Amino acid sequence: MPTKNKLKLGLDIGKINHIISRKVDAAVIKAIDDNLTVAQAYTIDFIILEGEDKDIFQKDLEKGLDLKRCSISLMLNNMEKNGLIQRVPVAEDARLKKIVLTDKSHKLYEKISTAINSVEDRLIKEITEDELKVFYKVLDKIRNNLD
């Protein structure tokens, strides 16, 4: 395959990622309180989705949201100050603090989830289950090629 097509594929993925991010960000901003940032909204979403069956720690947020330790730390400090999270020590290791959402965050999650789902629904409009399966299979191959 010519080099030009490989470069175009990367650029096209980057462009579509940018478009999706703008749409999701706009939907989330429209749905949430002015005191909440988009990054905080994504953090709440991540904690709810990933924390159903396990505790969530700062390192999980760093990896899952692909943000640096200092960025996550600053955001969590602000979220704690605004009553969105609590940092709770775990019995096994007092140095570890799991991130727990407050009732305030759980209430905001409904708005966040609705906003994200509205964009997700638009993304898959007129795409069949089989097409989505192939798409995810190709995405996994691309991701593995980059590891």
**Residue ranges of domains in the chain, CATH in brackets:** 3-146 (1.10.10.10)
Average pLDDT over residues 111-131: 93
Q: What is the pLDDT of residues 54-74, one digit of tens each?
A: 999 999 999 999 899 999 999
Specify the higher pLDDT residue, 34 or 120: 120
CA distance 131 to 129: 5
pTM of the model: 0.75
pLDDT for the residue 7: 66
Q: CA neighbours within 13 Å on the CB side: how many for 18? A: 6
Q: Is pLDDT above 90 for 83? A: yes
Taking the C-alpha atoms of residue 92 and residue 144, their distance in angstroms, rounded to an integer, is: 35
pLDDT for position 135: 95
What residues form DSSP beta bridges with 101? 85
- Identify the helix (H) or strand (E) that includes residue 123: helix 103-123
